[in-house]
Amino acid sequence: MARPLVGVLALQGDVREHAHAVRASGAEFVAVRRESELSDVDGLVIPGGESTTISRLLDTFELLEPVRKRIADGLPVYGSCAGMILLATTVLGGRPDQHQLGGLDITVRRNAFGRQVDSFEEDLELTGVAGGPVRAVFIRAPWVESASSEVEVLGTVPDVPGAGPAAGRIVAVRQGATLATAFHPELTGDIRVHRLFVDMVRAAA
């Protein structure tokens, strides 16, 4: 598949930045707001934003069950920040009525790194991403508290001065056709994480 069609869930969040990264990684892009658009895609990106808002809008746009079904059927999906929260099976610190999409057998802690003022950047080594460290931007980010044996840990926060309680925390994972990061690679201009995902989409096709 030369240029797979990758959708970005376009209900809320940094859709434009993901669209640019998807195109730069060798895929076609479509904004997904309807089930008809979802049905056409070879892969789906769930962007950063506000996980409870995206959860509510999935209901409003009648996309919750269609997205869940496509993920369960093996659709490759990548979630960044809020996307990671929505793909997790268990969320700590979320709203009790928040919907989960499934795909990752992990427990995440919402807003684990603190408030907006606690946002930071760090260089991370990621399994499966060649070319040196990835500059990771964390904005009110989650981290993974625990992961089952089915989940491959791709990256953790290095134990460096200033890391504090974040040191060693899991921030990038993969389970089958599902990829997630607690950070925002779409904000740095480094497309290697998106290229990894597009390669996953091609492999699944």
Q: Which residues are identified as catalytic?
A: 81, 184, 186
CB atoms within 10 A of CB 21: 28
**Rounded distance between C-alpha atoms, residue 102 and residue 137, angstroms:** 24
What whole-number distance in Å separates Cα of residue 151 and Cα of residue 4? 25
On the CB side of 13, CA atoms within 13 Å amount to 32
Neighbours of 72 (CB within 10 A): 11
Which residues is 136 bridged to in the sheet?
A: 122
Q: Fill in the DSSP letter of residue 132.
A: S
